[in-house]
């Protein structure tokens, strides 16, 4: 596959998406958004892909929108940044949350602006100890976007979300893990090894069941307890009809590791 701003590699059920504009800390451009749309379609449509791993080339994860790329769409009232969100960022974040496969981020360096939002939209986030998270938006007079105002208060609580979004200070990966923004922080030289080991486990897991877990967690944000119990009932009905559930129980009874096929 020929891409200019990303790398895409599929092996053993794991699709690795590497944002690849290292001299700009992998900042988003319109071209990158176009390529991201294509690989998200591939990730959805290719049954051989059972886990998506997102990382960055060079010393950055993603620095958000490329600030050297101009003001984007302009109408009579001036720049229309809402258009970029409508066209590029919002569909990307929605597709990541709706993708019926787990997404793991290996945050190797600065994750700023919409780059931080991108990490928060993943199901699991592992970060290198030297990585930082930055709600850069207020530093340039913008509003957090690409889902940050949705994910942050839910993950970190409203006090910390307000601090991060209004102060625009870098948050070290270790604190991000302590605050529950990410799953864990590891030594830099172990990041990709740890991420690959998690990705391998996800890619050999009960993919359909994992997608139902993702669906349940997505929906819990908007439900009361009774509503969520109903969601669990409906999703468990589906999980109970998968081949992987039969295999999981058989493997347990036979005291051997399960061989999940992802359906
Ligand atoms: O229209 C729309 O797209 C609307 C949507 C907006 C969504 C957003 O994401 S808005 C927020 C945009 N992002 C930022 O404001 C972050 C800006 N960057 C930084 O604050 C810092 O660079 C970092 C904290 C990310 C990293 O700091 P540091 O000290 O590790 O690196 P650096 O020296 O600042 O950056 C290294 C290079 O990357 C540098 O280039 P140079 O001087 O070596 O040629 C720098 O200019 C470049 N770079 C970093 N971030 C961006 C960038 N170039 C373009 N766009 C960037 N966002």
State yes or no: pLDDT of 74 exceeds 90: no
Position 170 scores a pLDDT of 98
Mutate which of 32, 64, 119, 145 to test ligand 1's pocket (most atoms within 8 Å of Cβ)? 64
Cβ(67) – ligand 1 distance below 6 Å? yes
- In the chain, where the domains are located: 6-203, 207-254
- Break the chain down into helix, strand, coil percent, rounded to 5: 50, 15, 35
pLDDT tens-place string over residues 105-157: 999 999 999 999 999 999 999 999 999 999 999 999 999 999 999 999 999 99
Average pLDDT, the chain: 97
Per residue in 26-59, pLDDT (tens digit) is 999 999 999 999 999 999 999 999 999 999 999 9
83-112 pLDDT, tens digit each: 999 999 999 999 999 999 999 999 999 999
133 lines ligand 1 (CB under 6 A): no
Please check the confidence at residue 71 and state whether its pLDDT lies above 80: no
What is the average pLDDT across 169-182?
98
* Homologous superfamily of domain range 6-203: 2-enoyl-CoA Hydratase; Chain A, domain 1 (3.90.226.10)
Residue 227 token pair: 């509503």
Domain 207-254 fold is Lyase 2-enoyl-coa Hydratase; Chain  A, domain 2 (1.10.12)
């Amino acid at each position: 596959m020929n891409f200019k701003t990303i790398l895409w590699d599929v092996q053993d059920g794991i699709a690795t998406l590497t944002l690849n504009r290292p001299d700009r800390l992998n900042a988003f451009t319109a071209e990158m958004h176009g390529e991201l749309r294509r690989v998200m379609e591939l990730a959805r449509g290719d049954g051989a892909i059972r886990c998506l791993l997102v990382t960055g080339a060079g010393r950055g994860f993603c620095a958000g929108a490329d600030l050297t790329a101009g003001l984007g769409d302009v109408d009579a009232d001036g720049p229309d940044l809402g258009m970029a969100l409508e066209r590029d960022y919002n569909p990307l974040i929605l597709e990541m949350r709706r993708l019926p496969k787990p997404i793991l981020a290996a945050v190797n360096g600065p994750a700023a602006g919409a780059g931080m939002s991108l990490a928060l939209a993943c199901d699991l986030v592992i970060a290198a100890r030297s990585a930082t998270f930055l709600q850069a938006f207020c530093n340039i007079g913008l509003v957090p976007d690409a889902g940050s105002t949705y994910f942050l208060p839910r993950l970190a609580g409203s006090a910390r979300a307000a601090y991060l979004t209004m102060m625009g200070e870098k948050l070290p990966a270790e604190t991000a893990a302590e605050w529950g923004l990410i799953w864990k922080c590891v030594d830099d030289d172990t990041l990709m090894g740890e991420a690959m080991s998690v990705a391998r486990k996800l890619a050999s897991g009960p993919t359909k069941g994992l997608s139902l877990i993702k669906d349940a967690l997505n929906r819990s944000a908007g439900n009361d307890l009774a509503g969520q119990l109903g969601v669990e009932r409906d999703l468990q009905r589906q999980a109970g009809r998968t081949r992987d559930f039969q295999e999981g129980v058989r493997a347990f009874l036979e005291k051997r590791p399960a061989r999940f096929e992802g359906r």
